């Protein structure tokens, strides 16, 4: 069985739910506590053994490439001022030579199309997909948990989490057939089912391990929910010929794609940082009393 070495990060989305903040800053670079959302996502990938990150970008996303490069003036300033701890942190996060690729999705045709744009760089091996809207705070990280499952059962793995039944229309939803603890085999999946029609309350949570045969199905470029080319639709088709498992990961999910989610992420992750927890708690409690 081939190991999971590469990950696709679709980062072409416009971030309209958090405008105007995303007018000139890609939403994936919005700060959560003291680092961009992408920093958490790449750290999760590296911890899971990812050796190559493929960013599917779009127009006005150039700052993402710059984030993962040296900022020579800044580093010189920090060095001159003796700020070695933060300098080390910045340098530790830089990719190794050749560890990152950037490919453009030139039209916003959907998540399935974005993933398909990475096909040549992924080639003929299993790969992960990490949706950077969602920070998952898990120990081990959500993708590490998925890789662990993949190493046991192979095939394709989709991370899921339980959501209230009335929210299922916002997500891809899986139909589990046999449930064994956190792991389930599946009989189907559907993207954004209309209210009242979801096959379960297990939503697809933005972490996947997929086999390269998905690209052949994505190539058909058929449109689905929202008139977009949906990854879920091609996964549902691939399920006819390959194994798929859903895994309910352990960890806190922060959807950073909207205002309240971003706020939750900032508060929740500050409360988890030993050096910030007491101050964050005091600030939140004071605001709640005001
Ligand atoms: C995408 C996927 C959906 C998944 C969701 C998780 O939807 O298509 O299956 O449940 O991410 O965040 P989007 O949020 O891009 O509409």
Instruction: Indicate the length of the chain as a whole number.
Output: 290
Q: How far does residue 271's CA lie from ligand 1's centre (Å)?
A: 27
Predicted confidence band at 222 (pLDDT cuts at 50, 70, 90)? confident
| Residue 92 forms part of a structural domain | yes
pLDDT of residue 86: 95
Name the residue of 114, 163, 199, 204 whose CB sits within 8 Å of the most ligand 1 atoms, as the mutation to test its pocket: 204
Q: State the CB neighbour count (10 A cutoff) for residue 109.
A: 17
| Residue 221 forms part of a structural domain | yes
Q: Alpha-carbon distance 21 to 34, whole Å?
A: 16
| Residue 1 forms part of a structural domain | no
Share of the chain above pLDDT 70, in %: 100
- Nearest CA residue ID for atom 11, ligand 1: 206
- Nearest CA residue ID for atom 5, ligand 1: 171
- For residue 203, the domain's CATH number is 3.90.550.10
Q: For ligand 1, what atom is nearest to the CA of residue 232? A: 9
Query: Considering its fold, how many domains does the chain have in total?
Result: 1
| Residue 98 forms part of a structural domain | yes
- Nearest CA residue ID for atom 13, ligand 1: 171
- Nearest CA residue ID for atom 9, ligand 1: 172
Q: For ligand 1, what atom is nearest to the CA of residue 13? A: 15
Who's near 44: CB < 8 A, 6+ residues apart?
Answer: 130, 136, 141, 142, 143, 144
| Residue 32 forms part of a structural domain | yes
- Nearest CA residue ID for atom 2, ligand 1: 172
| Residue 19 forms part of a structural domain | yes
Name the residue of 8, 11, 13, 172 whose CB sits within 8 Å of the most ligand 1 atoms, as the mutation to test its pocket: 172
Q: How far does residue 134's CA lie from ligand 1's centre (Å)?
A: 10
Average pLDDT of the chain? 95
The string of pLDDT tens digits covering residues 243-257 is: 999 999 999 999 998
Give me the mean pLDDT over the 15-30 stretch: 92
Kindly list the protein residues whose Cβ atom lies closer than 6 A to any atom of ligand 1: 111, 131, 133-134, 171-172, 191, 203-206, 230-232
| Residue 17 forms part of a structural domain | yes
Name the residue of 131, 190, 207 whose CB sits within 8 Å of the most ligand 1 atoms, as the mutation to test its pocket: 131
The string of pLDDT tens digits covering residues 47-59 is: 999 999 999 999 8
**Could you tell me which of 156, 154, 152, 194 has the C-alpha nearest to residue 173?**
194
Q: Is the pLDDT of residue 290 over 90?
A: no
Predicted confidence band at 220 (pLDDT cuts at 50, 70, 90)? confident
The string of pLDDT tens digits covering residues 169-198 is: 999 999 999 999 999 999 999 999 999 999
Strands (E), the chain: 6-10, 31-32, 35-36, 52-57, 100-104, 127-130, 134-137, 156-162, 172-180, 183-191, 202-210, 244-248, 252-255
Q: How far does residue 233's CA lie from ligand 1's centre (Å)?
A: 12
| Residue 40 forms part of a structural domain | yes
Q: For ligand 1, what atom is nearest to the CA of residue 110? A: 15
Predicted confidence band at 14 (pLDDT cuts at 50, 70, 90)? confident
pTM, entire model: 0.95
Name the residue range of residue 98's domain: 6-289
């Amino acid at each position: 069985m081939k190991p999971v070495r590469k990950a696709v990060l679709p980062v072409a989305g416009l971030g309209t739910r958090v405008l105007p903040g995303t007018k000139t800053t890609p939403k994936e670079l919005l700060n959560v506590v003291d680092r961009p959302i992408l920093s958490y996502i790449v750290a999760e990938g590296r911890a899971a053994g990812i050796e190559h990150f493929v960013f599917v970008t779009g127009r006005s996303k150039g700052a993402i490439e710059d984030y993962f490069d040296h900022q020579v003036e800044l580093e010189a300033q920090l060095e001159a001022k003796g700020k070695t701890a933060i300098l080390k942190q910045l340098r530790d996060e830089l990719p190794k030579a050749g560890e990152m690729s950037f490919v453009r999705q030139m039209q916003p045709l959907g998540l399935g199309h974005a993933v398909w744009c990475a096909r040549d760089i992924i080639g003929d091996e299993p790969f992960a997909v990490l949706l950077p809207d969602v920070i998952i705070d898990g120990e081990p990280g959500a993708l590490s948990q998925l890789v662990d499952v993949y190493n046991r059962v192979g095939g394709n793995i989709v991370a899921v989490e339980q959501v209230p039944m009335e929210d299922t229309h916002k997500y891809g939803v899986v139909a589990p057939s046999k449930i064994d603890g956190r792991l389930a085999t599946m009989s189907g999946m559907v993207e954004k089912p209309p209210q009242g029609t979801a096959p379960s309350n297990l939503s697809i949570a933005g972490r996947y391990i997929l086999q390269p045969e998905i690209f052949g199905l994505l190539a058909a470029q058929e449109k689905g929910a929202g008139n977009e080319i949906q990854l879920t639709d091609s996964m549902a088709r691939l399920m006819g010929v390959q194994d798929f498992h859903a895994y309910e990961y352990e960890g806190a999910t922060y959807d950073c794609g909207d205002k309240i989610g971003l706020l939750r992420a900032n508060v929740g992750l500050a409360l988890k940082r030993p050096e910030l927890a007491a101050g964050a708690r005091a600030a939140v409690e004071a605001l709640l009393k005001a």
